[in-house]
Amino acid sequence: MFARLTLVPALLFCSAFALAETIEQPQVVVFGTAETYIAPNEMDWALTVRNEDAQLPATASRHSETVARVLTFLKGLNIDEKKLQTSRMQFGENWQYQQNRQVKVGYYASTDITFTISDLNLYEKLWMGLAAIEGVSIHAASYDHSDRIRLQNECRQKALIAARDKASALAQTLDSGIGEALLIEEQQMPEFRPYSMTANTRFDAGEAGQAQALAPGQITIKTQVRCIFRLVRVKL
């Protein structure tokens, strides 16, 4: 019985000691956020070329011709070949749902084409030129900036400064200050996605050359960091 009674104070002592270890270092925890707005100077395009035919050899032949035509058109606009890529080349059986059942109607072949342009004035030529090639669809087009990585790094530094200033302001309110940074952690933000052109553009073939077909606006780069600073008492 005596042993059981002496065990409880021992446990309480250990718990109190662990709590003291946890709060031994006074800290201030803050989040710093920064945003940068820039005008885009690039466009990223993503196309899909798809052809269908009753026979596979005819499908493959027709598809090769269409892809070659698209690439020739793009290279004719002096698009940088380093930023021009074909991918996901595939072909297979083409099935359709008819009269409550799957029916094989032939074969298909498809290829994805991605490229980047730095001359935004090429937009109308690209739009109309690609529209004239049967089997081509534009499934993604967005704005970007050629110096995005540097701008993101600068934005991250601004977020750190914002966190430091916030921590200092909080500490001063309680007659304290901040010491060295104990932790710096970049928060997971939504992936950088430039605005899609499909939501910001208007094009009417009858108005070609009369009105601007683009409204690039601005790209937003946002960074957030979490910082922990040592909290120190200011001597009065």
- Domain with residue 157: its CATH number is 3.30.110.170
Q: Do residues 137 and 172 both lie within one domain?
A: no
**Cα dihedral 188→193→145→149 (10° resolution):** 20
Q: Assign 185 to helix, strand or coil.
A: strand
pLDDT for the residue numbered 212: 61
CA–CA separation, 16 and 65 (whole Å): 78
pLDDT for the residue numbered 18: 47
pLDDT for the residue numbered 67: 97
Residue 17 lies in a domain: no
Q: Do residues 95 and 138 both lie within one domain?
A: yes
CB-CB neighbours of 175 under 10 Å = 10
Residue 212 lies in a domain: yes
pLDDT for the residue numbered 63: 96
CA–CA separation, 124 and 139 (whole Å): 16
Q: Do residues 135 and 214 both lie within one domain?
A: no
Question: What pTM value is reported for the model?
Answer: 0.69
pLDDT for the residue numbered 146: 93
Q: Do residues 129 and 201 both lie within one domain?
A: no
Residue 164 belongs to domain spanning: 25-39+148-233
Rounded mean pLDDT for each run of 10 residues along the chain, 236 residues in total: 45 44 78 95 95 94 96 95 94 88 92 95 93 93 92 96 96 93 87 44 38 76 96 80
Residue 7 lies in a domain: no
Residue 74 lies in a domain: yes
